[in-house]
Amino acid sequence: MTRIDADVIVVGGGPSGIAAAVALKQRGIRRVVILEREPVLGGVPRHCGHPPFGMREFGRVMTGPRYAERLARYALEHGVEILTRTTVVSLAQDGELRIANHSGQGIGRASRVVLATGVREMPRSARLVSGDRPLGIVNTGALQAYVYLQGLKPFRRPVIVGTELVALSALLTCRKAGIRPVAMLEENRRPTTYRPFMALPRLMGVSVHYGAHVEAIHGSTRVEAVSFRLEDGQVRDIACDGVLFTGRFTPESTLVRTSHLELDDGTQGPQIDQYGRCTDSTYYAAGNLLRPVETAGWSFREGCRIGHCVADDLQGIMPRAQHVVKIERTEGIKLVVPQRIVLPSTAQGLAQLQVRVTRQATGSLNVNTGRSTLWQSHKHLLPERRVLIPMPQIALEDDLDALSVGIQSASADVPLSRG
């Protein structure tokens, strides 16, 4: 039976996991081990064969695969131990992991464990899209793996569903592979990404349909057409040979769901405090496992910060928790990270509350106690956009049990709903 004993085990070898591991080694933590189920490190960027990656981390612009290779070297240069093709099967108390690799099942034990398992895209089945089950239906990750890793084209004239930033990444992948998308479909009245970015599909001659809901996919052996319904009830068909579902990310939190750690119903990732610490203080979490989805650079910086928090914990620098303040979401707030603030607090933890809203609104985003407002700012809020509330500006009182984050005076014509 394989057995791994370490000071810290990092589960996941993407940008946040590698950054956390290196930060720990830089702080003098003796044995830090990354467990990665894929054959190589790098995470999602391995599949993104276009720039820009790595400017803030390494001082140069790279493609995703080059960035992934640089991340792997970065870990090795700092003495991080790496075990690839190694899957963590389950989490237990006291930092005990059940693992599996080519040698069979085994056990891992560590004083602290950092979970950095990232995100995955929502598949067709979870989107409840009806119709036939022909070849040619993929998500962005599969497309990039086909094109960049296997040199294959899963289709030639697909329909792209979604307008998140990753959809534009998919457009660049299609362009590189000689694939010509016939249309982009977006359920909302505006793009999820920033409007100026939608110049890319126009430049590529790809029509964009807003307020378009995919009704059905048609085809016998391969995709032949897609039916979509517009807001006025009109149903249209588009001839195509594939469907590319993009975005709608969800944290890869299977390990958390099947463990003793508490899951947050907003993020669908683990509950954490401002140090990235889960409800079992042996476990920490970082990167896109905490919320879907941030850039590789953001995940790297967050992983580095949380790695230093783990080092503080192991070296006895982190103050002992004396009080916990829970952070609650109110109407219109989809998620908040972290979900708990531990007092006393230090500057080493996460610097902001990260907030997302359920839908477009204009109003006062606020943090209050029920008795008083501790922070507020008037904002135009859009779904899937990062909103940051500086934690040092929130005057926390020692007797607080809970805070709530909410929106006041939202646009009357835009109803809000709990995420």
What digits encode the pLDDT tens for the residues 40-54?
Answer: 999 988 888 778 899
pLDDT band for position 126 (cuts 50, 70, 90):
low
pLDDT for 416? 38
pLDDT at 414 over 60: no
Amino acid letter, residue 111: S
Q: Band the pLDDT of 293: cuts 50, 70, 90.
A: confident
pLDDT for position 409: 63
Q: What pLDDT score was predicted for residue 333?
A: 95
The pLDDT value recorded for residue 371 is: 85
Calculate the average pLDDT of the chain.
91
- The pLDDT value recorded for residue 1 is 59
Answering whether pTM is above 0.85, one says yes
Mean per-residue pLDDT for 379-387?
88
Query: For 106-113, what is the mean pLDDT?
Result: 97
Query: What percentage of the chain exceeds 70 in pLDDT?
Result: 96
Q: Which pLDDT does position 213 carry in this prediction? A: 93
- Rounded Cα distance between 97 and 114, Å, is 12
